[in-house]
Amino acid sequence: MTNVFKKIFDVKFIHEYYSSGYADDLVYTPTENCQQLMKNLGMLFRKNSKGFSVLYLSDADGNAVKSFSDKQIFSFIIESSNPYFNNLSKLPINSAKNTVYNFSNVDSDGNYKTKLTESDDVGEDDNISLKRQNFVHSFQSQNLSATIEIKNCFDESILSEDAKVNNGEANYFVELHKHRPGFYELFADGTSDLKFYTSDELFRIKPFGIIDIVREDLSEISYTINIAKKMTFWRYYVIAKYRKETTKDHLKLCVPKSVVEEHFSGNNYTFVDDKLEIEPDSQSSNPDGLNVIPIEVEEELPLLEETMSGFQLKINNGSSYELNDLPNPSVKNISRSLVNGKPEGNKIYSDIYIYI
């Protein structure tokens, strides 16, 4: 009987947008430290359609050729091949500069878990500051000096020293090249002042995320990360390019009954031929003098890789006709609501342009 590779763990990245159910646009790579660790332990990294897995070599009796009993941290960089990944995910359209989504199988109390996010889905709680392994941290203090303490992901103190305070402000130089890249928390006078992930490698790449898996044995475990689909207000812009006489009084947007029943919060709707009819309430002219008629769906709808069919535009301006199976919005065309030209609130629109 020959040696065989067995799985120590896998990570599945679930995403509601994709027809497959998994985040098809994400690419996973072990960090430089992780590559060396797996090489030393005789392990293999394998990508798959759901995420990736890590394997170890076992002998003819099923025992690991190389084993370990102390804590080992396996870290994997997550990058997206889709520049619109945040648009199709329930995440901010634009992530804050120099931040990274940090996923770990260790919770804030030091307990192991199989869901790698802070809550059910990836959210702002998973997004933390990304730092080089040396940087300056500025903070305010009313004292003449402040005690700085830095703890690692196991809540172990790795550094404690005093920082000078001048005129109520301190600039503390953090130097962590002697420590492993990873998650750390900085405390000033006993109060948490910064949670951050430090890594020169990641700071250079600026990836979407980083996964840290802490293991003490070779038992097989599956981990998951969930991202919810983006919900937006769909807004159809009908532009009267060819039928220039068309106005808002000539149009109705028809939403399939099945879509209304699944995604709308109300239940008192009147359907015509199994569709909810929405009439536009305004119109304007573009620079070419063409009528532009916006029709907004009143409830949020999901952005999905698979098209939701059955949307229809009814046109009655002397002669009646219908445009069937209107396109769903592109993930490229989403925007925040604007007040005086500035984003306000959390309302997000998906715009679709129809020329008639």
Which tokens go with 337?
Answer: 């609501």
Residues 155 and 58 in one domain: no
pLDDT value for 287: 94
- φ, ψ of residue 28 to 5 degrees: the values are -115, 135
Residues 122 and 13 in one domain: yes
Residues 138 and 173 in one domain: yes
Q: What is the band of 341 on the pLDDT scale with cuts at 50, 70, 90?
A: low
Indicate the pairing of strand 26-30 with strand 342-355.
unpaired
DSSP symbol at 96:
P
Average pLDDT in the 235-263 region?
95
DSSP string, 266-297: ------BTTEEEE-----EE-TTS-EEEEEE-
Torsion of CA 181, 185, 205, 203, to 10 degrees: -90
pLDDT value for 343: 59
pLDDT in tens, 252-283: 999 999 999 999 987 789 999 999 999 999 99
pLDDT in tens, 161-195: 999 888 889 899 999 999 999 999 999 999 999 99
Q: Whole-angstrom Cα distance, residue 320 to residue 251? A: 10
Query: What's the CATH code of the domain at 161?
Result: 2.60.40
Residues 165 and 269 in one domain: no
Residues 23 and 46 in one domain: yes
Does the structure show a pLDDT above 60 at 1?
A: no
pLDDT value for 345: 67
**Which residues does 159 contact at the CB level (< 8 Å), separation at least 6?**
148, 149, 150
Residues 219 and 265 in one domain: no
Q: What is the percent of the chain with per-residue pLDDT over 90, rounded to a whole number?
A: 80
Average pLDDT in the 90-98 region?
89
Domain residues for 164?
Answer: 133-198
pLDDT in tens, 291-332: 999 999 999 999 999 999 999 999 998 778 899 999 999 999
Strand partners, 252: 314
Total number of domains in the chain: 3
pLDDT in tens, 32-60: 999 999 999 999 999 999 999 999 998 87
Residues 209 and 192 in one domain: no
DSSP symbol at 356:
-
Between the alpha carbon of residue 229 and those of residues 23, 89, 92, 189, 319, the distances in Å are 11, 5, 12, 41, 40
Residues 86 and 214 in one domain: yes
Which tokens go with 241?
Answer: 């390019």
Between the alpha carbon of residue 142 and those of residues 148, 173, 190, the distances in Å are 14, 19, 14
Average pLDDT in the 73-89 region?
97
Residues 239 and 153 in one domain: no
Q: What is the band of 340 on the pLDDT scale with cuts at 50, 70, 90?
A: low
Which tokens go with 304?
Answer: 């999905």
Q: Report which of 79, 336, 301, 288 is spatially closest to residue 201, judged by C-alpha positions.
A: 79
Overall pTM > 0.95: no
Residues 253 and 137 in one domain: no
Sign of CA dihedral 111, 116, 117, 119: negative
Which tokens go with 238?
Answer: 């009908």
Residues 184 and 224 in one domain: no
Residues 141 and 212 in one domain: no
Q: Whole-angstrom Cα distance, residue 312 to residue 151? A: 58
